[in-house]
């Protein structure tokens, strides 16, 4: 059995094989759970397709305004203008592209308003190693510093961690599916979180039912006839660890068996098409998986990118034909199944190839490339200008300083405008403002998630004063700090012992605050700050115990000056703030507070 037919599952709790439609499938999971939302972008799906091996984007999207330069750099590889497909004659000359003749399906998608091309995409310091470059793309690194070069988590995992704050790797109310599924040979680096542990086994089951029959016994009765091999040893090992993956196994099998592909769509016969066909079928069966990742290999075209006697045929032409056919069929299927409002596809490759050909009818590793977005919700068009084919580095690749778009700007825009991630969620993904601002016009205005519907955690900082009736001195307008001066002021917050569940349980006053003797800054006592949602104010969502000073300011217990910040609040909610004390009546705001 070929390696590509094996399955890997990635989960914090267990691992097991799964093959759907003859394709290996893996799930990934993070540590967070979905909160109830007033509006629901959680049914949105992102499908990521990786062109493994570094696609030659210059022969994919030929810059028509530089065709003579292009032909001069590639005398044995260039495609004549009369064989190219003009993408859009209304574009400015600096964006005029000629599609490879195998991309007729891309032209059709573009003309129907379902395709966008982002040019000049890369990272500040390119890496020409396939493995490290792919690793950087999936982890959200840029190669420019140790911090962003050696990240040990993936950007998708970090995004999902922020968006689902309590998820523990098993199904939960409203989300019975794994948060993400990898098909084919796509590696799961992008989904790594600090909590993830992955075990890998090989299994020859090909049908969902057969898979479930076998894997459902893990953690229960021993599996009969375990092979005497390394894979049998691994299976034995897993039997003694966890059986929670059984739930996902059944669910994945059910969505696959319940779903179907549209009878009006015929997929081409290639591996990528099979992967995407499986995704469409699972979605039609009710899967709410958020991110699917698929891959198409073969793009490392150092040798024989084209046939020596025909530049229109060869390895690259075959790959592009398979790619465009698979993506067009998938989009047609999604449209026919009524899922077009939910699915957006993003295509990337780890880097481009050199501008100048080598001596073996091929091209060596380059730098900048393009990204492709497909779906009913995209803003169709071309973003960015054609790469300057005369601005080359010493290795005859596009000069990296000519990068127009950081790849994180593309993914960051999709995460917010399509997937509905809050600003804090984008920050938690490590796609900071310098990478994602301004956002790119990738998602149409009618499909972009509005600010009021963004999901993920945010924060609320409260700068508040409160006066306690007992200690209040009307002559000075401050409160007396009798508890402190008498030595009875608790140095550890007192509310946990009273049964309150706090975000800052056992918070302690610093010794300097305990001894601070000041007419306005001395600590009077502890108060309790609570956040309650406006639609259900009887339920406390967050609680923080904090000291209050003589001047009424509620401050942080460490320094006595900073305001109190509630973190991991749901960005789509509105809150009311209540202030309570163990010997006084409480008070609550009448105006809603919006997280930011």
Residues 227 and 109 in one domain: yes
Angle made by CA atoms 415, 418, 423, in degrees to the nearest 5:
45
* Predicted pLDDT at 243: 41
Q: Would you say residue 178 lies in a domain?
A: yes
Residues 446 and 480 in one domain: no
Residues 441 and 547 in one domain: no
Find all residues with CB under 8 Å of 596, minimum gap 6, and list them: 423, 458, 459, 460
Count up the domains in the chain and report the number.
2
Distance in angstroms (rounded) separating the CA atoms of residues 363 and 313: 16
Q: Would you say residue 593 lies in a domain?
A: no
| Domain end residue (candidates: 403, 427, 455) | 455
| Domain end residue (candidates: 406, 421, 455) | 455
Instruction: Report yes or no: 110 and 380 within 8 Å, Cβ to Cβ.
Output: yes
At 414, phi and psi to the nearest 5? -65, -40
Residues 531 and 433 in one domain: no
Q: Would you say residue 378 lies in a domain?
A: yes
521 closest CA partner among 561, 462, 494, 482: 561
Q: Would you say residue 595 lies in a domain?
A: no
* Predicted pLDDT at 200: 24
Residues 34 and 127 in one domain: yes
* Predicted pLDDT at 82: 97
- Which tokens belong to 555? 């401050």
Residues 574 and 433 in one domain: no
The two beta strands, 85-86 and 97-99, are antiparallel
Q: Which residues pair with 586 in a beta bridge?
A: none
Residues 142 and 51 in one domain: yes
Q: Which domain holds residue 141?
A: 3-455
- Which tokens belong to 572? 């789509």
Q: Would you say residue 507 lies in a domain?
A: yes
Residues 490 and 423 in one domain: no
| Domain end residue (candidates: 455, 483, 498) | 455
Instruction: Report yes or no: 159 and 425 within 8 Å, Cβ to Cβ.
Output: yes
14 closest CA partner among 289, 210, 247, 294: 247
Residues 499 and 382 in one domain: no
Grouping H, G, I as helix, E, B as strand and the rest as coil, residue 64 is helix
End-to-end CA distance of the chain: 53
502 closest CA partner among 584, 426, 590, 566: 566
Q: Which strand (E) or helix (H) includes residue 527?
A: strand 523-533
* Predicted pLDDT at 8: 29
* Predicted pLDDT at 465: 93
* Predicted pLDDT at 254: 85
Q: Would you say residue 596 lies in a domain?
A: no
Grouping H, G, I as helix, E, B as strand and the rest as coil, residue 258 is helix
Q: Would you say residue 594 lies in a domain?
A: no
Residues 447 and 467 in one domain: no
For the chain, 596 residues long, give each residue's pLDDT as a single digit of tens. 222 222 222 332 223 334 555 555 554 443 332 222 335 677 899 999 999 999 999 999 999 999 999 999 999 999 999 999 999 999 999 999 999 999 999 999 999 999 999 999 998 888 888 888 888 888 888 877 666 667 777 888 888 887 776 666 666 666 788 888 888 765 554 544 444 433 222 222 223 333 333 333 433 444 456 566 554 554 554 443 344 455 577 788 888 889 999 999 999 999 899 889 989 999 999 999 899 888 999 999 999 999 999 999 999 999 999 999 999 999 999 999 999 999 999 999 999 999 999 999 999 999 999 999 999 999 999 999 999 999 999 999 999 899 999 999 999 999 999 998 888 788 888 887 666 567 899 999 999 988 767 776 677 899 999 999 989 999 999 999 999 999 999 999 999 999 898 989 999 998 899 999 999 999 999 999 999 988 788 888 899 999 999 999 999 999 999 999 988 777 667 889 999 998 888 888 878 887 76
Residues 272 and 325 in one domain: yes
Residues 349 and 433 in one domain: yes
Find all residues with CB under 8 Å of 196, minimum gap 6, and list them: 10, 11, 12, 28, 29, 30, 157
Q: Would you say residue 508 lies in a domain?
A: yes
């Amino acid at each position: 059995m070929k390696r590509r037919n094996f399955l890997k599952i990635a989960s914090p709790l267990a691992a097991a094989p799964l093959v759907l439609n003859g394709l290996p499938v893996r799930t990934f999971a993070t540590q967070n759970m979905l909160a109830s939302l007033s509006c629901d972008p959680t049914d949105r799906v992102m499908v990521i397709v990786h062109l493994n091996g570094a696609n030659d984007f210059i022969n994919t999207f030929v810059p028509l305004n530089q065709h003579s330069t292009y032909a001069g750099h590639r005398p044995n590889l260039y495609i004549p203008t009369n064989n190219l497909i003009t993408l859009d004659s209304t574009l400015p000359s600096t964006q005029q592209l000629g599609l490879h003749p195998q991309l007729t399906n891309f032209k059709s998608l573009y003309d129907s308003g379902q395709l966008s091309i982002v040019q000049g995409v890369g990272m500040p310091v390119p890496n020409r190693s396939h493995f490290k470059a792919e690793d950087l793309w999936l982890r959200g690194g840029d190669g420019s510093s140790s911090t962003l070069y050696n990240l040990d988590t993936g950007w998708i995992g970090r995004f999902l961690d922020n968006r689902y704050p309590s998820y523990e790797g098993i199904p939960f109310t409203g989300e019975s599916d794994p948060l993400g599924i990898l098909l084919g040979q796509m590696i799961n680096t992008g989904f790594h979180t600090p909590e993830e542990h992955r075990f890998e086994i090989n299994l020859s089951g090909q049908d969902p039912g057969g898979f479930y029959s076998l894997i459902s016994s893990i953690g229960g009765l021993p599996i009969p006839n375990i092979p005497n091999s390394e894979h049998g040893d691994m299976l034995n090992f897993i039997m003694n660890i966890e059986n929670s993956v059984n739930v996902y196994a059944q669910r994945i099998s059910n969505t696959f068996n319940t779903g179907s592909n549209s009878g009006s769509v015929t997929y081409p016969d290639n591996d990528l098409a099979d992967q995407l066909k499986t995704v469409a079928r699972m979605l039609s069966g009710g899967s709410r998986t958020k991110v699917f990742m698929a891959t198409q290999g073969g793009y490392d075209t150092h040798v024989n990118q084209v046939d020596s006697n025909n530049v229109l045929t060869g390895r690259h032409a075959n790959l592009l034909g398979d790619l465009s056919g698979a993506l067009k069929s998938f989009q047609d299927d999604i449209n026919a199944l009524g899922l077009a409002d939910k699915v957006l596809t993003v295509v990337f490759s780890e880097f481009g190839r050199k501008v100048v050909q080598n001596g073996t009818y091929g091209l060596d590793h380059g730098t900048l490339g393009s990204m492709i977005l497909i779906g009913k919700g995209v803003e169709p068009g071309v973003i960015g200008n054609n790469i300057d084919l005369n601005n080359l580095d010493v290795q005859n690749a596009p000069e990296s300083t000519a990068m127009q778009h950081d790849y994180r700007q593309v993914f960051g825009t999709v995460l917010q405008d399509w997937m509905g991630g809050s600003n804090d969620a984008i920050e938690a993904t490590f796609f900071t403002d310098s990478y994602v601002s301004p956002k790119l016009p990738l998602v149409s205005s009618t499909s972009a998630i509005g600010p009021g519907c963004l999901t993920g955690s945010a924060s609320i900082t409260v700068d508040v004063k409160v006066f306690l009736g007992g200690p209040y001195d009307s002559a000075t307008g401050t409160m007396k700090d009798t508890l402190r001066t008498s030595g009875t002021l608790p140095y550890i917050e007192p509310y946990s012992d009273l049964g309150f569940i706090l975000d800052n349980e056992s918070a302690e006053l610093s010794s300097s605050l305990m001894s601070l003797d000041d007419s306005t800054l001395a600590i009077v006592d502890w108060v309790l700050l609570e956040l309650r949602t406006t639609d259900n104010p009887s339920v406390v969502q967050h609680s923080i115990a904090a000291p209050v000073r003589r001047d009424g300011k509620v401050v942080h217990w460490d320094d006595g000056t900073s305001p109190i910040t509630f973190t991991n609040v749901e960005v789509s909610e509105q809150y009311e703030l209540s202030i309570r004390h163990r010997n006084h009546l409480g008070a609550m705001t009448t105006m809603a507070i919006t997280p930011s």
